[in-house]
Amino acid sequence: MRTRDFDLGANLGRVFSFQDGVFSSWLANSALYSLVGAAVSTLLSVMAGFALAKYRFRGREAIFNVILASVLIPAPMFALPLFLMLAKLHLTDTYWAVLLPSFVSPFGVYLSRVYASASVPDELLEAARIDGAGEQRAFFRIALPVRSSRRASARSDAASCRHCRQPAAPASAHAR
């Protein structure tokens, strides 16, 4: 193929007009599945991991062990049971048939539990509860921002604590 025969605009025009613009529909579906699936999966994984790391309840370790064991099962092993379940619920050939399975991420829950137990101090959550914050507010306003590595590193460099308006500890105090 010679360079002068290549016309990007014409090629894109042919792709997007192919079968009455089906490529645009495919592109929109891919964006929907990836963006919504990733956002909901991340939120659910972070919430579940946080709950498993910070709350004490009966069966917590058993639930975590089941989640951890499910990471070891290859994803194709879930294909037939998942299809049969979605068919029974009359969800095949719908957006939900693709979105619902993408919402569940056992590995995401595992990573989130490990990270939450290491990055969110119990004392900080206790202080939030004493100050009257409910569990939802403590999660979204304290635990999530603390878990964000960008915000956590920026916070350590801040001149003062934005919550209590006291001077932050010098960097050398953190190294001890």
The pLDDT assigned to 174 comes to 47
Percent of the chain residues past pLDDT 90, beyond the cut:
63
Which tokens go with 64? 């975590």
Helix (H) / strand (E) element for 164: namely none
Which band of pLDDT confidence, cut at 50, 70 and 90, is reported for residue 136? Answer: very high
Q: Which residues contact 86 (CB under 8 A, 6 or more apart)?
A: 92, 96, 97, 100
- Tens of pLDDT along 5-47? 788 888 888 888 889 889 999 999 999 999 999 999 999 999 9
State how far the Cα of 56 lies from the Cα of 13, in Å rounded to an integer: 58
Confidence at residue 167, expressed as pLDDT on a 0 to 100 scale: 53
Across 144-167, average pLDDT:
57
